[in-house]
Amino acid sequence: MTPLSDPKAKMEIGQGGRNTRYGEIQADEFLRELKGKRAIKTYREMRSNDSTIGAVMYAVEQVLRDNQYKVVPANDSVEAKAEAQFVEQILSDMEHSFDDHISEALSFLTYGFSSFEVVYKRRAGNNPTNKKKHSKYNDGRMGVRKIASRAQWTINQFDINIKTGEFLGIKQDVGNYLAGGATIPVNKLIHYKTTNINNDPSGRSILRNAFTAYQYLKRLQEIEVIAIERELHGVPIGRIPAEYLSPDATDNQKSLRAQFETILRDLKLNEQGYGLLPSDVYHDADGKPTNNRLMDLELITSNGSRNIDIDPVIRRYQHDIARSLLAELLMLGGGANGSYALSQSKTDLFLRSLESYLDVLFEGLNKQLIEPLWALNGLNPDLMPKLKAGDIAPYDLKELGSFIRNLNGADLPIVEHPETVGRLMEMAKLPYDTDKDKEILQRRRDDEQAKLRVEREQNVNPQEDTSNDR
């Protein structure tokens, strides 16, 4: 065993995986289709082409964009509240909206990661000559001009410290703008990732477990379309003389055969579908024409019904995809089975997963946006606020009301705690002023204390009743 006095005992020796050495995208993945830029292409295809995945990702994006975030001050001091207002100003003073950034950042769910370059600016007021330097504020502090997206398919490699495996930045392909591409350092990046397995900067796409089902579903849908097309207009069958099929056929015969094969291949029942054939017929031994044409074409249709019903198989794979994304609730109502309790549990699970996604985003913003801004401006770290996501899952007000009644019945009146009341009103999405209620509560307490003092004074010096002395 290496003693603690040995310098090696204080060094990091091992590495998390191959990815931390070479900086490849999805380097530890065992499927070739899901490695490197092929992974980005595959996940992009899944996100864009599959209706189930598209519906789930659209639902996720719309729900998370509607989230009401807030900036929480470090404490109740005036200075801390002023710094929280500074962060709110930063988010409203960018070239794009904060909601737009959240929408773009959510691509880390599809690809496993998403990267953004933070572009700073000096808050020096209106600048009519250069709109890039324009700011609504004029305090001289450093703010944020934009959080610029760096698309996953433009990233060639992660910049990794070979010795320690530390993530140093991204290497981006920017065409002919810079020879060899551009390397964006980590101190200018906001880098989101779904997981932290093996310290892999590329994370893990939430579509990974849906890949197999997507592949089978894609093939089945193609087969289904072809089968329906063939079933509707039949399979074209052509007949030509045997000499045209012989290996010894002349060039003219081969050319005619190729044209006929093209007609058979492209023949469809639409406004452009037709078959053009010569009207020449065979002649008998006496040289007289017969009713048999030299070339013929017909459509054959299937008799009876198919033994395999492909629709349930397709539905099964669609359910597998939705289930892998914890979004099977979108498939409810498509069949005869199901219950309210089942839908409620699946909905709660889906919304809880969305809350975890949002936590990843806001933790990344606090660590990679707010902290660098604080250091850049030389501000007091004790006054640094935090961005906090709002609640996504709606609360059952009926159950919440029963809980509040139970608290009051146990002689625990929540009206004595304005912060608790404020939180409850926030959960019910009702307006409430905590500071104002604190003032009202304090005045009520002062009045009660004054009333108690008067009663004590009256008990110490009771007034004589002289009504019976008359």
Is 69 contained in some domain? yes
What pLDDT, on a 0 to 100 scale, did the predictor assign at position 236? 78
What pLDDT, on a 0 to 100 scale, did the predictor assign at position 50? 92
pLDDT at position 191 over 60? yes
Q: Are residues 97 and 138 in the same domain?
A: yes
Is 461 contained in some domain? no
What pLDDT, on a 0 to 100 scale, did the predictor assign at position 461? 65
pLDDT digits (tens, 9 = 90+) for 295-345: 777 766 666 555 677 888 888 898 899 888 888 777 766 555 555 556 777
Q: Are residues 168 and 51 in the same domain?
A: yes
Among 169, 191, 207, the domain-final residue is 207
Among 207, 226, 248, the domain-final residue is 207
First vs last Cα of the chain: how many Å apart? 105
CA-wise closest residue to 107 among 168, 55, 47: 47
CA-wise closest residue to 149 among 194, 100, 104: 104
Q: Are residues 198 and 271 in the same domain?
A: no
Q: Which segments of 187-249 are extended strands (E)?
A: 189-193, 235-239
pLDDT digits (tens, 9 = 90+) for 101-143: 999 999 999 999 999 999 999 998 888 788 778 889 999 999 9
pLDDT at position 424 over 80? no
Q: Are residues 120 and 22 in the same domain?
A: yes
pLDDT at position 15 over 70? no
Which of the residue ranges 30-39, 175-184, 187-196 would you say has the lowest mean pLDDT? 175-184
pLDDT digits (tens, 9 = 90+) for 46-80: 999 999 999 999 988 888 887 888 899 999 899 99
| The Cα angle at residue 432 between residues 426 and 434, in degrees rounded to 5 | 100
Is 348 contained in some domain? no
Strand partners, 297: 238
What pLDDT, on a 0 to 100 scale, did the predictor assign at position 470? 45
Among 253, 271, 300, the domain-final residue is 300
Q: Are residues 262 and 120 in the same domain?
A: no
pLDDT at position 269 over 70? no
Do 237 and 299 contact (CB within 8 A), yes or no? yes
Q: Are residues 403 and 294 in the same domain?
A: no
Q: Reduced to 3 states, what is the DSSP secondary structure of residue 122?
A: strand
Is 314 contained in some domain? no
Instruction: Tell me the C-alpha distance between 144 and 24, whole Å.
Output: 30
Q: What is the mean pLDDT of the chain?
A: 81
What pLDDT, on a 0 to 100 scale, did the predictor assign at position 368? 95
Task: Report how many domains make up the chain.
Answer: 3
**Most distant CA pair in the chain, distance:** 160
Write the single-letter amino acid at 284: D
pTM for the structure as a whole:
0.72
Q: Are residues 70 and 197 in the same domain?
A: yes
Using the structure block, give the residue that is written with the tokens 């320690």: 164
- Residue-range definition of the domain harbouring residue 42: 15-207
Is 466 contained in some domain? no
Is 158 contained in some domain? yes
What pLDDT, on a 0 to 100 scale, did the predictor assign at position 90? 94
Do 157 and 171 contact (CB within 8 A), yes or no? yes
Q: Are residues 154 and 253 in the same domain?
A: no
Q: Are residues 104 and 175 in the same domain?
A: yes
pLDDT digits (tens, 9 = 90+) for 401-412: 787 777 777 777
Where does the pLDDT of residue 419 fall: very low under 50, low under 70, confident under 90, or very high at 90 and above?
confident
Which of the residue ranges 66-70, 125-129, 364-368, 392-396 would you say has the lowest mean pLDDT? 392-396
100, with CB counted inside 10 A (0-12, 13-18, 19+), is: middle
pLDDT digits (tens, 9 = 90+) for 144-159: 999 999 999 999 889 8
Q: Are residues 199 and 254 in the same domain?
A: no
Highest mean pLDDT among 50-54, 230-234, 238-242, 410-414: 50-54
Where does the pLDDT of residue 161 fall: very low under 50, low under 70, confident under 90, or very high at 90 and above?
confident
Is 359 contained in some domain? no
Is 43 contained in some domain? yes
Q: Are residues 49 and 189 in the same domain?
A: yes
Q: Are residues 23 and 171 in the same domain?
A: yes
- Better-scored residue on pLDDT, 375 or 291: 375
- Better-scored residue on pLDDT, 384 or 443: 384
